[in-house]
Amino acid sequence: MKPPAQIHTARLLLRKPRVSDARAVFEGYATDPEVTRYLIWPAHRSITETRDFLRRAQVMWKDGTEFTWAMTLSPDTTLIGMLALRITGCRIDFGYVCAKKFWNQGYTSEAVSAVVKWAMGEPGIYRIGAVCDTENSASMRVLEKAGLRYEGILHRWSVFPALGPVPRDCFSYALLK
């Protein structure tokens, strides 16, 4: 199963990432320590890293290991972040990031809600879920607004490189069919 290459929402177009997005990603959020604080990847140090990431994202769309969309404003096309999902049998897991300049305007919730709607419409999918650091309140709110329910705590679940090498506790959220 592959998700749609494009998803339209009221204010956004989710589309496949391109290598030509590198500058927007690099300057928009990938180097920002506040944005990368609760992410599983470290802030990019060079635009080459960003280009490599975008190339990997394209390969993963093709081989089906991960599906990443660029979140872009519509109709003006500004890239504001990314949303990525993995499909494992009847389950989907996803993550997201938004450039600070665009925080708290409901954009990520709008994108996540659209992806959740698509996922729940797929007959073979019974669960869509995400995890976030127990201190990442904005991310919890995004998941709640998209209709996911708090499930519990996953101790020592994930390393967030910006916060050190020790795995941290995460909250699990999901929507079930």
Ligand X SMILES: CC(C)(COP(=O)(O)OP(=O)(O)OC[C@H]1O[C@@H](n2cnc3c(N)ncnc32)[C@H](O)[C@@H]1OP(=O)(O)O)[C@@H](O)C(=O)NCCC(=O)NCCS
Q: Which is nearer to ligand X, 1 or 159 (CB)?
A: 159
- Minimum gap (Å) between residue 168 Cβ and ligand X: 11
Q: Is there a contact between 143 and 108 (Cβ–Cβ < 8 Å)?
A: no
Q: Which is nearer to ligand X, 35 or 85 (CB)?
A: 35
Q: Which is nearer to ligand X, 63 or 88 (CB)?
A: 88
Q: Which is nearer to ligand X, 68 or 108 (CB)?
A: 108
* Strand partners for 56: none
- Minimum gap (Å) between residue 123 Cβ and ligand X: 28
Residues at the contact surface with ligand X, assessed by CB under 6 A: 35, 38-39, 95-98, 103-109, 132, 136-139, 141-142
Q: Is 5 left (phi over 0), alpha (psi -120 to 50) or beta?
A: alpha
